[in-house]
Amino acid sequence: MTRLAKITLLFVVFVDLLGQGLVFPILNSLIMEPGTSILPQDTSVAMRHFNYGLIIGVFFLSWFLGAPYISKLSDVIGRKNAILICLFGALGGYGLTIAALYMNSFILLILGRAITGLTAGNQPIAQAAMIDGSVDDEDRNRNMGYIITGVSFGLVGGPVIGGFLSDPILLGSLASIKLPFFACFVLVAIAIVFVMVFFKDQKDTAKEAEAFRFRPAEIFELLWRIKRYPIVMRLTVVFLFFHISNLSFYIFVDNYLTSRFGYGTLGGSMVMLTIGFALAFSSTFLVVPVQKRLSKEAILGTTFTVWAISSAVFVALPVAALTFIPIFCFYFVFGIAYPTFLGLYSGAVGDEEQGWVMGVTIAVFTLVAGIISLLGGELIGINLDLPFFGVIAAAIIGLIVMFLAWNTPELKALTRKPGS
């Protein structure tokens, strides 16, 4: 795979995640601040928490429905065509979101997020494309780290773009809450051009492409196939708790800080910036060195432990500025653990099923995110700390289940450190 092709894939992932880093703080302000016009001013705080969880949940559940299908489809029509489908969908979703902000329409805003979610499957396809272009296991693990680098730069770039373009102190009268979405629209269009010019499929799957047919049942059949792969099944049981813990923290950290300490769009953007920097450093520089020194089981066990401690410290701290320390620690270890988990999934199946298994990882992520968003919106309305108690519980359970479910020769062989 050429350097330009890798850069193109990283830019695609960057644009894909840019929306989350940018949208989460803005949506938090739109929904939670009474001064905005997207909801009636007399909407109660509890209902605002519910609507925040609803709009985030719709995005992730739509992503759940679309990502596995498009990932599997990429094994048939080629990575390039599947990536372009996702990018054109994102273009339409951002267009609807911009229209919703002009019309102050909450329904149209939900529709825009749903369409964006349905076609938000670029990350697993990019992961599969990186695997296609890898020459050995070490190169594959390094490339998985690069993907997380693209993710982290997206999480960093989103807050920077969103904070800069929406801040009247920096841009004066030009600033608006709509301007960041226009920027995303343009960046997606640029990504489309890059993919069309610089990226070529490593495997000639497109020549065997079948007629495009959408079968909704196939979305669930892709996940049902897990039962035929015992190793993937055991990985997924732990991966489920991994993401319950991760997403209970990630989705509601902005909401929590806004409700407890009065953070707005700028404060939420700084949170996403912290998460992005933590991910960028660890995923770019530490994935391969740490994997050479520790078994993958030890890496993930350490991650669960750090998460439980970080979440407990986060809710206990009385000063807003200090909360950035546990946030950084939480996502510093995530930057190493996530590509490690992706490498385990990749090593559990053959070359012809990489698109499917990467789709499974995103399906688990998005399904958990959708459910957590809907349930967490209710929980945080009852007590701000409840989602973070969930983080602690899921991390502890995940740690226990990992040591029980992975105690087999096949998993031990898969998770041991290189050379042992």
Q: Which residue has the tokens 């991650």?
A: 303
Counts of helices then strands in the chain (DSSP H, E): 17, 0
Q: Can you tell me the distance from the alpha carbon of 200 to that of 295, in angstroms, rounded to the nearest whole number?
A: 34
Cβ–Cβ < 8 Å for 372, 248: yes
Residue 107 burial class via C-beta count within 10 angstroms: exposed 0-12, middle 13-18, buried 19 and up = exposed
Percent of the chain clearing pLDDT 90 (strictly above): 30
Show the tokens assigned to 229. Answer: 């792969």
- pLDDT surpassing 70 at residue 214: no
Please provide residue 317's backbone torsions phi and psi, each rounded to the nearest 5 degrees.
Answer: -70, 135
Burial string for 302-321 (b: 16+ CB within 10 Å, else e) reads: bbbebbbebbbbbbeeeeee
Per-residue pLDDT band for 316 (boundaries 50, 70, 90) equals very high
Q: What is the pLDDT of residues 131-162, one digit of tens each?
A: 777 767 677 767 766 777 777 777 667 767 77
Q: Can you tell me the distance from the alpha carbon of 33 to that of 302, in angstroms, rounded to the nearest whole number?
A: 38
- Degrees, nearest 5: CA angle 229-146-293: 75
pLDDT at 52: 84
Per-residue pLDDT band for 283 (boundaries 50, 70, 90) equals confident
Cβ–Cβ < 8 Å for 391, 309: no
Cα four-point dihedral sign 88, 123, 366, 313: negative
Show the tokens assigned to 280. Answer: 């960028």
Q: Can you tell me the distance from the alpha carbon of 377 to that of 384, in angstroms, rounded to the nearest whole number?
A: 10
Average pLDDT, the chain: 84
Show the tokens assigned to 289. Answer: 């060195």
**Residue 420, C-beta contacts closer than 8 angstroms, at least 6 positions apart:** 295
**Residue 212, C-beta contacts closer than 8 angstroms, at least 6 positions apart:** 77
Q: Can you tell me the distance from the alpha carbon of 144 to that of 150, in angstroms, rounded to the nearest whole number?
A: 10
Cβ–Cβ < 8 Å for 122, 64: no
Burial string for 70-95 (b: 16+ CB within 10 Å, else e) reads: bbbbbbebbbbbbbbbbbebbbbbbb
Range with the poorest average pLDDT among 143-157, 201-215, 285-299? 201-215
pLDDT at 209: 47
Q: What is the pLDDT of residues 321-352, one digit of tens each?
A: 999 999 999 999 999 999 899 889 988 988 77
Q: Can you tell me the distance from the alpha carbon of 411 to that of 340, in angstroms, rounded to the nearest whole number?
A: 14
Per-residue pLDDT band for 243 (boundaries 50, 70, 90) equals very high
Q: Can you tell me the distance from the alpha carbon of 404 to that of 420, in angstroms, rounded to the nearest whole number?
A: 21
Largest CA-CA distance found in the chain, in angstroms, rounded = 64
CATH of 3-201+222-415, one of 1.10.20.140, 1.20.120.1080, 1.20.140.10, 1.20.1250.20: 1.20.1250.20
